[in-house]
């Protein structure tokens, strides 16, 4: 953990959100004292609801490392990650998170993080999204083919 990188994530959040176009979020992915990737919220600028600071930083760090895993890295964020970004941190195998503000601070600033945490933790029938399931047996055949493929790369 390098406190300078947390301060940098906060600074990125401040600088990049000044115009009001980008949300006030910044992130830095570092391996020890080396920054591999940075990111800031670009949802509105890029018309991309997935372009949260942490997602962008992870993509940049993976590009830098030419790897889809960041096992020896730390991610520094100005705010506790939303469930999308926290899940991405798990998929990237990042073992350590350093953040400043909490999800409740994000809620106070007008963001839906806490609501989505509640939804993700609920059963389908209690969620606000409509869910329809069909064709499961057809779908399972694709998974069976995957498992039978000796050339598959696990990730």
Q: Which residues are catalytic?
A: 54
Q: Are 44 and 56 in contact (CB under 8 A)?
A: no
Q: Does 21 bind a second copy (CB under 8 A)?
A: yes
Q: Does 71 bind a second copy (CB under 8 A)?
A: no
Q: Does 63 bind a second copy (CB under 8 A)?
A: yes
Three-class SS state of 75: strand
Compute the least distance from the CB of residue 45 to a second copy, in Å. 9
Restricting to residues 89-148, which ones interact with a second copy according to CB under 8 A?
89-102, 105-106, 108-110, 112, 115-117, 119-121, 128-136, 138-140, 142-143, 145-147
Q: Are 26 and 9 in contact (CB under 8 A)?
A: yes
Q: Does 78 bind a second copy (CB under 8 A)?
A: yes
Q: Does 32 bind a second copy (CB under 8 A)?
A: no
The number of residues that bind a second copy (CB under 8 A) is 92
Compute the least distance from the CB of residue 115 to a second copy, in Å. 8
Q: Which of 50, 48, 28 is nearest to 39 (CA)?
A: 28
Q: H or E segment at 54?
A: helix 53-65
Q: Are 12 and 26 in contact (CB under 8 A)?
A: yes
């Amino acid at each position: 953990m390098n406190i300078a990188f947390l301060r940098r994530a906060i600074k990125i959040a401040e600088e990049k959100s000044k115009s009001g176009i980008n949300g006030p979020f910044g992130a830095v992915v570092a391996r020890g004292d080396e920054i591999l990737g940075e990111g800031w919220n670009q949802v509105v600028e890029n018309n991309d609801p997935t372009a949260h600071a942490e997602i962008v930083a992870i993509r940049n760090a993976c590009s830098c490392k030419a790897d889809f895993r960041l096992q020896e890295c730390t991610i520094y964020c100005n705010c506790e990650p939303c469930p999308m970004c926290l899940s991405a941190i798990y998929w990237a195998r990042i073992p350590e998170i350093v953040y400043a503000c909490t999800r409740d601070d994000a809620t106070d600033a007008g963001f839906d993080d806490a609501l989505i945490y509640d939804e993700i933790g609920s059963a389908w029938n209690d969620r606000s999204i409509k869910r329809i399931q069909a064709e499961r047996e057809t779908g399972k055949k694709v998974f069976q083919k995957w498992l039978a493929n000796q050339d598959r790369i696990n990730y």
